[in-house]
Structure 1
Amino acid sequence: MTTSTFDALREQLTTAAEAFAGGPSAVPGILSGMVDDVDRALSERLEIFPVCHHSPASALAMAKRLRDKQPKVVYLELCEDLRPLLDELRNCRLPVALQAFASEIDGFPPEAAPLSVVAPITEASAEYQAIAYALDTPGVELVLVDRSTDHVFQWEPDAPAGTAAPEAETDSEDEAALHGDAVGLEIGDLRPGFAELEEHLLHHGRVRHWSEWWDQYVEQPLIGADYATYRQVMVLIGSLFRRLRPGRRGLGVEEDRERYMWTRMREHLASSGADPADCLYVCGAFHAASTVAQFGLDGDAEPFEISPRTGTRWLYGLIPSSHAAIEAQFGLASGSVSIAAATWDKARRHARVTPYRLKGQKGTREPAKTPVPAPPEPVTDRLSGFLAAPPALDAVDEDELLGWCTGIVRLARRNGYLASTADAIAVFETSVLLAGLRGRRRPTPYDFQDAAITCIEKDVVPGRRDVRRLCEILLGGDRIGQVGYDALPPLARDVLDRLAPLGLDLEKRTIQRALIDLGARPELASCSQLLWILRHLLPDDAVRPIMGSRRLGERSIQESWDLAIGRNQRSLIELGYEGVSVEQVLEQRLRRAVHADRATASGALDAVEQSLLYLGGGRLTDELGARAVELLSAERTVDDAPEVLRRMRRLLAHYRATRPALPRWCEAFVTTGYAHYCTLLPTAFTDDDTGVRQVAAMLGFLFGMESLALSFGCDHAQLELAVRQSHPEAPAKVALLWAASSQLGLLSQADLRTRYDDLLANPLIVPTFPQYISGFVQALEPVPALTPLVVEVISKAFARLPDTVLLPWLPTLITTLRDNARELVPVLVREAGRTFPGTLAGVDTWVPPWSERPAPAPVGPVPSGPVADLLAAHPASYEAVADLLGYDRTAGAALRPGEAEAAALSVRHPETAEAVAALLGCTAQPASP
């Protein structure tokens, strides 16, 4: 091609730009530069094929060009280290994504882990056509020339862990999240560099979003164009968006990628001796218009110096993808990829082009035979005619539009809409009307979608699929890919093999019910164990128990599971990046958890419990327990004290029931915790940032495990000294301190009752009395023997507190019990059940045991005799009996001390008097009236 090929076009565009601008401006320079970019790209000896990601026009042109040229070497813009994955595509159902994953990084900031890169592949894409042709055609070599995944993060330090892509509206969040937070790679990201241009194009194009503009003004005109026209137009568009990028934002990284790719292609040509005429370079249209010095094979620029990779160990695999996931990751409009797939199917049938498909791939047919290569055509100016000619106006495809209209009505009725034949007619007419208003003769899928929403969706019902989603389903749906068994990592295949006795097809995306009866089929115990491990490792909806549980010392005989492993195939595949078995992955995760920077003692105890449940204990459990001791001794706060107490109690109960002696780490944890909490107790009582529940948990640990700690060599004086040194001011903590003093014998229950009575009698303290009760309730954790007294205090509070104090306090009491003492409520309820009458009739005559009783009246004449003399001689005995029977010993003071009481008791209870007399060695005589 000569330099004068596009001179006429350059002069025509420059003249038009100057006339339009009315004077000197940057527009003529931009247009002239665009023509230069097209001229340079098409004059290169190595044929450049510009593409756009997931473009039906690009895929169709690629299929045609591959059959005509039959290149022997295909250079593809894709990360060079992903090449081994391409051979596994034949074992998958598209769309899928190539993934590079790194959880343990070397050379990047530690907080950046894990690193993940995905490159989605769909059947309606030019890159898949090139891959299928190269892999299934003998003698053809496929070379990936883009930077490695390691360089992706080296060159983009601002986004080391990947940023979440804009989310699109989807029917299922699971489908949109198939790629997770991985960094997405696409070939040919053609989109304006700034919002003003995009807004201008959308406004004047009478479309809503960029995907619709691209389909209307690029895809549809190019899908039927010849190869030369397609190639020139794509390079022209790539040059336009490249030159309009303001301030060359982000262009430095893109130019480095171009230098990288041209350096790799030169190296390959030099080492292989391939003829550039037999090669094809597939890249994005943006890179086809490159201006770097290394561009082309005939340049004399120095080769680009490629930096070495870091020490990060990358793991590679295939994960399932979907149209919704691609749209969400790359910011495309909802349904645009499905519409592109439908356009691809229609275009290839219309053009009678047989696409390339990998042999043996699921859901595909064998490709047609490759024809004899055609001689290359001379490059001529096709842009002048293409840009000057008006767009071809296609007639309304009534059969296609009628099929859409009847199909959406049928689908809407199936989903609960009151749609009829009249709605189908209205959708048809409205589609034609909208297309006319937007300046197009043939309604597009987007016009049809707007018409269907207008005519059918008259209201929005929660829980029902909207009409926009129904249109996407009708036009192609959200196709979801699947990675085949042979392409799975060893861990995923091992999981499927070990669960095979369940008799379920776990590769399906539906939810399946698994019933396990370990009594009838004990061989399924291994499946049950594996499911519990997967429950711990996979997302909650992947493996969900319906019946059965797994706790320390507990095993279910019958279990029922809802399994959606096929739907969560991506998560299962990523487990394969961490190890060769799920047990190894769990072991590594537990070790990483307890050695993390923010690891806590409660988290380490949880890891100990997980190792006992799923890995059977052993050396790993002892290692995790020893780490828990280290973490507890290093903690300077007691925020996790409730969790530490709860988990340690459960572990001690398990070991006592299953082993003759406690492990060494348990002994160390008890002694370390006893000394640790004794040291922190005075500070925790006075620290405002330490809650009442935390202090109660500390006391629960100290009192509950004191006997065990003392047997291991701890000193009781340490705890008593810590309590004596505590001087809280908050009412709730004061109540806790009183309870602790009572447990240590420093304060009797009678003195404790007196203190609470004094608080209720003090009008200055009455408004804060509920806070004392809150602390007293928390004291049941370390001192459960105070339960009757707590019920008594709460009862007195309800009886004596004024309504102005009591009513505002009731919600606080309920929320406090629910949030901080949930497990103590049953204890209070049981004690209240024993204290209060069980029937409604008994309430009227019930007298609280803590209230004062009236003195009983004497019955009959006061007797006299030996019994009265005996009891008078031994006053301690009858006083004890009187107290036991609930009588007031002060009655009858006019008689001799104790004589009236003794006489009355001997008359009413002669058997008791005789028993006491016999005990004292006397003979009881009947009392004479």
Structure 2
Amino acid sequence: MSPFGALREQLLGAATAFADAPGALPGILSGLVDDVDRALREELEIFPVCHHSPASALAMVRRLREKQPKVIYLELCEDLQPLLDELRNCRLPVALQAFASEIDGFPPDWGPLSVVAPITEASAEYQAIAYALDTPGVELVLVDRSADHVFQWLPREPAAPAAADADDDTAGHGEEAALHGDAVGVEIGDLRPRFAELEEHLLHHGKVRHWSEWWDQYVEQPLAGADYDTYRQVMVLIGSLFRRLGPDEGDRLARDEDRERYMWTRMREHLAASDADPSQCLYVCGAFHAASRVEQFGLAAEAPAYDISPRTATRWLYGLIPSSHSAIEAQFALASGSVSIAAATWTKAVARHGVTPYRLEGQKGAGKRPGRARPAAPVPQGPVTDRLSGFLANPPALDGLDEAELLGWCVDIVRLARRNGYLASTADAIAVFETSILLAGLRNRARPTPYDFQDAAVTCIEKDVVPGRRDVRRLCEILLGGDRIGEVGYRALPPLAQDVYDRLKPLGLDLEKRTQQRALLNLDAEPELVPCSHLLWILRYLLPEDAVRPIMGTRRLGERPIQESWDLAIGRHQRSIIELGYEGVTVEQVLEQRLRRTVWAPEATAAVALAAVEDATLYLGSRRFTDELGGRAVELLAAERTVDDAPDVLRRIRRLLAHYRATEPVLPAWCEAFVTTGYAHYCTLLPTAFVDEEVGVRQVAAMLGFLSSMESLALALGCDRAQLELAVRQSHPEAPAKVALLWAAQFRLGMLPQAELRSRCDELLANPLVVPAFPLYMSGFVQALEPVPALAPFVVEVMSKAFARLPDAVLLPWLPKLITTLRDQARELVPVLVREAGRTFPAGLSSVDTWVPPWSARETPKAVAGPVPAAAGPVADLLAGHPAACDAVAVLLGCEAGWRPSVHLAGGPEHPEVADLLVRHPEAADAVAGLLDRRSASGR
């Protein structure tokens, strides 16, 4: 007969009395009792736990000392088993990690894959691990799904894998919250209502703000001093309640049930292979899984074993990474400070109940290891009795007010607040004390909890002002335990991380510290530090920006450092260094692999490959590897159909060519191939780029810059200059800036004399319809300084003429557009223009009045009296026959003098200005004369 029969009848009676439609509720309540009865009657003892729960850890310590099991089955990824012994070389909290950068069998956008399982001292799983590893004859078996199966069971959606798993809800908890990165978290005992309305109901009636506070008030505190049977029954009941009242969650519930089938299958396989006695075994799992209803539940289940799918071909790497309380809170969506409060509760409970916790031999950061308790005879498990009825019917025995503890908190928070800029005083400490008691009374609590104290401190000290970067709630978390941050010991580090620490020893710094340290390197006086400098630059490339930060010194092609200064925070970024160890044995190998992956990626471009060549030259110095990357750059350039990266390509290939010419007797073969390929490639794309609206002026200017600056080398290597001339002749741009670029290219190739170019610019300034677009022409000319540096004096001349000739009504609206256009399109070339202007214009104000621009310094020829050349005869006749037109032109030019006889022009009226004009510019007269001759010949 079930020991819970009376409780079941009582719950069914309550359901019938209070439910409006007694149908589903009786089934749920009776199912809760059935789940508890089923879990406790199982031959293999089930120990239900909650993640990072001090009550679970206390119950675990007590049960391990009583039962002394020989085999412990632990709900943790089975492939993490080899890492457990390395915990003794670490300072908790740390996280077990499985990492895969090269994935096979998963969507490519999921990579890299990462699974973490954080471990704290105030957790039941750590107590079980410490007991099993340090007790002779005890076997610890991890039975949960492998890291590969964690991702196999995720839905194949475009979203990132971490976002698809239900265990990894994150929140912002500061810098240390990022210690786990975007890894998927695996925990033992995820006890939180999956029914939003149920959680809201519990929080409202419990008069608490968040779930962590409700759990601490109504589960942790009552179960801290409860006996083992009561603890088990309550935890299974809670797990069953959340399971039965959860919504139909589809994939998540199916994954939970698959995990349970997986674990029971692994335990059966181990029992069959080892012939272990189930009565001497202990199965540690989350309370949610203890109330499982899958057909494989229990050793006596008749259902067939679960068919476990094979792992994929993904290569997994394993290690330990540092963790922190805030990282655990962010990973599993816990309230900020809840894990720190749990750690403080654990310390207090251990001292109050006289429990000696288990701790791994040699554990770092744990103080003096407690003496091992004398082993006692195992206590057999007694018959199952009903402890739930008494626990649910009677209120828990509440502790009285601990005035000494609360006074200590109040005094310490005021002292801490004053250090952080708050104007706190003794009166505030008294106010916090009284408000804490008041809040506890309003919430039906016999003694203030840390959460009541936090609320009181925020109300009385912070008010509405936060003077510094820490608010009072954060100060309370620091006071009550702080955000403890773990550390992976040297022996538990991968070979790469150990190599980094060993190679940086000459610096004389304690790199394990989490504080920022300054390293000063005088490389001339201490040449033995040159390898350290080289390693620091590689770490600067591979690690986050604030891990290794240069204060003084640079790393460029052709430069040799003399002195360097670094800010190092390697201890703070230990996780990043550890994950580098998953990619290779040394940092040089990791860098080589990353550069190779970069240039062979589908989205790689020639500019990306040239950047990789430069990085390989700076950090690796391997000629074979740089030749490989350079060959890939040639392939990518030949395959490109756009010129978006032309500026970057030009800048990088110029720098590399200058470096090789200064350090090598001959250019590498890939450099010569890149120049010849680029010359032909850009000549082919030039006509299209000139007319394509999506191609910017900078790109076209960079193409011309490549063709002009590499021309001599390309011609020496066998290229044909006619290809460039043909490409320029085929270019017919319409955009003003590109038109100016084309004129500059024609000038560079000798197709356009400078006199004609000057004439065209003068025509642009004289045309009122073109003047508003003149800044665009100027932008093109300034961009042309890249391929045609000799054009700088002419650009200064054109801009000076614009400022001299344009009236203020045109110049003032035009000037802002000119400035913004040059800033947006030719920012880096404006200094070239400024330097040229500095050489052209006078250096002092005293010289301005007498200064004559170089372009107008030529002597104006005087008017020549005498007969006009014969070719100008028809023009003179035309002017004499139509004097009104001449008068209008004279007025437009500002000449008010009328016709007067002074110089005879071919028998017509005399006009000295016209005669002088014809003498100075005979070309115009010749052209008009030719036009008149053709009209006469055609009969018009």
TM-score by length of 1: 0.90
Q: Which residue of 1 aligns with 2:79?
A: 81
In structure 2, the residue corresponding to 1:311 is in which secondary structure? coil
Matched to 1:255, the amino acid is E
Instruction: Report the Cα offset of residue 224 of structure 1.
Output: 1.4
Structure 1 residues 295, 538: CA separation in 2 closer, same or farther (over 3 Å shift)? same
Matched to 2:726, the amino acid is L
Matches within 5 A, 1:155-194: 155-158=153-156, 161-163=161-163, 165-170=168-173, 172-173=174-175, 175-194=176-195
In structure 1, the residue corresponding to 2:248 is in which secondary structure? helix
Instruction: Report the Cα offset of residue 796 of structure 1.
Output: 2.6
CA distance, structure 1, for counterparts of residue 111 and residue 294 of structure 2: 33
1:676 matches 2:681: yes
1:371 matches 2:372: no
Verify the 8 A CA contact 1:514 1:563 in the aligned structure 2: yes
1:303 matches 2:305: yes
Q: Which residue of 2 aligns with 1:861?
A: none
Structure 1 residues 136, 807: CA separation in 2 closer, same or farther (over 3 Å shift)? farther
CA distance, structure 1, for counterparts of residue 46 and residue 673 of structure 2: 70
Deviations 1:480-509 (A, max 9, x none): 000000000000000110111111111111
Structure 1 residues 797, 18: CA separation in 2 closer, same or farther (over 3 Å shift)? farther
CA distance, structure 2, for counterparts of residue 370 and residue 312 of structure 1: 46
In structure 1, the residue corresponding to 2:596 is in which secondary structure? helix
What percent identity do the matched residue pairs reach? 80
Deviations 1:632-685 (A, max 9, x none): 011111010000000000000001001111111001000000000011111111
Matched to 1:353, the amino acid is V
CA distance, structure 2, for counterparts of residue 351 and residue 634 of structure 1: 74
CA distance, structure 2, for counterparts of residue 432 and residue 815 of structure 1: 65
CA distance, structure 2, for counterparts of residue 439 and residue 125 of structure 1: 28
Q: Which residue of 1 aligns with 2:387?
A: 382
Verify the 8 A CA contact 2:776 2:818 in the aligned structure 1: no
Instruction: Report the Cα offset of residue 794 of structure 1.
Output: 2.1
Instruction: Report the Cα offset of residue 6 of structure 1.
Output: 0.5
CA distance, structure 1, for counterparts of residue 808 and residue 231 of structure 2: 85
Q: CA RMSD in A?
A: 1.8
Q: Which residue of 2 aligns with 1:469?
A: 474
Q: Which residue of 2 aligns with 1:453?
A: 458
Instruction: Report the Cα offset of residue 59 of structure 1.
Output: 0.8
Q: Which residue of 1 aligns with 2:397?
A: 392
Q: Which residue of 2 aligns with 1:558?
A: 563
State which drifts further: 790-799 or 558-567. Answer: 790-799
Q: Which residue of 1 aligns with 2:657?
A: 652
Verify the 8 A CA contact 1:116 1:161 in the aligned structure 2: no
CA distance, structure 2, for counterparts of residue 692 and residue 800 of structure 1: 27
Instruction: Report the Cα offset of residue 450 of structure 1.
Output: 0.8
Match of 2:578 among 573, 580, 587: 573
Q: Which residue of 2 aligns with 1:887?
A: none
CA distance, structure 2, for counterparts of residue 322 and residue 621 of structure 1: 41
Q: Which residue of 1 aligns with 2:275?
A: 273
Q: Which residue of 1 aligns with 2:897?
A: none
Match of 1:148 among 146, 149, 153: 146
Instruction: Report the Cα offset of residue 791 of structure 1.
Output: 1.4
Q: Which residue of 1 aligns with 2:891?
A: none
In structure 2, the residue corresponding to 1:482 is in which secondary structure? coil
Matched to 1:369, the amino acid is A
Match of 2:131 among 130, 133, 144: 133
Instruction: Report the Cα offset of residue 288 of structure 1.
Output: 0.1
Deviations 1:339-367 (A, max 9, x none): 11111111111111111100101122324
CA distance, structure 2, for counterparts of residue 167 and residue 246 of structure 1: 22
Matched to 1:230, the amino acid is Y
Matched to 1:247, the amino acid is D
Matches within 5 A, 1:498-517: 498-517=503-522
Verify the 8 A CA contact 1:115 1:162 in the aligned structure 2: no
Q: Which residue of 2 aligns with 1:408?
A: 413
Match of 1:321 among 309, 323, 326: 323
CA distance, structure 2, for counterparts of residue 446 and residue 801 of structure 1: 75
1:428 matches 2:429: no
Verify the 8 A CA contact 2:779 2:825 in the aligned structure 1: no
CA distance, structure 1, for counterparts of residue 813 and residue 86 of structure 2: 68
State which drifts further: 36-45 or 613-622. Answer: 613-622
Structure 1 residues 743, 462: CA separation in 2 closer, same or farther (over 3 Å shift)? farther
CA distance, structure 1, for counterparts of residue 813 and residue 352 of structure 2: 77
Match of 1:833 among 818, 824, 838: 838
Q: Which residue of 2 aligns with 1:226?
A: 227
CA distance, structure 1, for counterparts of residue 818 and residue 82 of structure 2: 64
Instruction: Report the Cα offset of residue 753 of structure 1.
Output: 1.5
Structure 1 residues 811, 478: CA separation in 2 closer, same or farther (over 3 Å shift)? farther
Structure 1 residues 82, 808: CA separation in 2 closer, same or farther (over 3 Å shift)? farther
In structure 1, the residue corresponding to 2:362 is in which secondary structure? coil
Structure 1 residues 76, 520: CA separation in 2 closer, same or farther (over 3 Å shift)? same
Match of 1:742 among 737, 740, 747: 747
Q: Which runs of 5+ in 1 are unaligned?
A: 859-892, 895-929
Verify the 8 A CA contact 2:154 2:161 in the aligned structure 1: no
Q: Which residue of 1 aligns with 2:866?
A: none
CA distance, structure 2, for counterparts of residue 28 and residue 626 of structure 1: 75
Instruction: Report the Cα offset of residue 375 of structure 1.
Output: 3.3
Match of 1:761 among 759, 766, 771: 766
Matched to 2:171, the amino acid is A
User: How many residue pairs get matched?
Assistant: 856
In structure 2, the residue corresponding to 1:567 is in which secondary structure? helix
TM-score by length of 2: 0.89
CA distance, structure 2, for counterparts of residue 223 and residue 125 of structure 1: 13
CA distance, structure 1, for counterparts of residue 459 and residue 808 of structure 2: 60
CA distance, structure 2, for counterparts of residue 194 and residue 694 of structure 1: 58
Matched to 1:276, the amino acid is P
Q: Which residue of 2 aligns with 1:907?
A: none
Q: Which residue of 2 aligns with 1:206?
A: 207
Matched to 1:226, the amino acid is D
Verify the 8 A CA contact 2:739 2:780 in the aligned structure 1: yes
CA distance, structure 2, for counterparts of residue 815 and residue 143 of structure 1: 70
Q: Which residue of 2 aligns with 1:347?
A: 349
CA distance, structure 2, for counterparts of residue 310 and residue 265 of structure 1: 23
Instruction: Report the Cα offset of residue 220 of structure 1.
Output: 1.2
In structure 1, the residue corresponding to 2:593 is in which secondary structure? helix
CA distance, structure 1, for counterparts of residue 325 and residue 504 of structure 2: 30
In structure 2, the residue corresponding to 1:850 is in which secondary structure? helix
Q: Which residue of 2 aligns with 1:7?
A: 5
CA distance, structure 2, for counterparts of residue 655 and residue 797 of structure 1: 44
Matches within 5 A, 1:642-721: 642-721=647-726
Structure 1 residues 801, 423: CA separation in 2 closer, same or farther (over 3 Å shift)? farther
CA distance, structure 2, for counterparts of residue 389 and residue 791 of structure 1: 94
Match of 1:263 among 255, 262, 265: 265
In structure 2, the residue corresponding to 1:745 is in which secondary structure? coil
Matched to 1:126, the amino acid is A
State which drifts further: 528-537 or 456-465. Answer: 456-465
CA distance, structure 1, for counterparts of residue 456 and residue 172 of structure 2: 19
CA distance, structure 2, for counterparts of residue 801 and residue 177 of structure 1: 60
CA distance, structure 1, for counterparts of residue 227 and residue 802 of structure 2: 91
In structure 2, the residue corresponding to 1:60 is in which secondary structure? helix
Verify the 8 A CA contact 2:179 2:322 in the aligned structure 1: yes
CA distance, structure 2, for counterparts of residue 454 and residue 74 of structure 1: 47
Verify the 8 A CA contact 1:67 1:370 in the aligned structure 2: no
Matched to 1:616, the amino acid is G
CA distance, structure 1, for counterparts of residue 799 and residue 466 of structure 2: 50
Q: Which residue of 1 aligns with 2:927?
A: none
Matched to 2:586, the amino acid is S
State which drifts further: 596-605 or 824-833. Answer: 824-833
In structure 2, the residue corresponding to 1:246 is in which secondary structure? coil
Verify the 8 A CA contact 1:163 1:182 in the aligned structure 2: no
Q: Which residue of 1 aligns with 2:826?
A: 821
Instruction: Report the Cα offset of residue 223 of structure 1.
Output: 1.2
Deviations 1:607-647 (A, max 9, x none): 10011111113110000000000000111110100000000
Matched to 2:114, the amino acid is S
In structure 2, the residue corresponding to 1:728 is in which secondary structure? coil
CA distance, structure 1, for counterparts of residue 399 and residue 805 of structure 2: 89
Deviations 1:788-831 (A, max 9, x none): 11112222333444556655555554455445434322211211
Instruction: Report the Cα offset of residue 460 of structure 1.
Output: 3.0
Instruction: Report the Cα offset of residue 20 of structure 1.
Output: 1.5
Q: Which residue of 2 aligns with 1:592?
A: 597
Q: Which residue of 1 aligns with 2:65?
A: 67
Structure 1 residues 780, 219: CA separation in 2 closer, same or farther (over 3 Å shift)? same
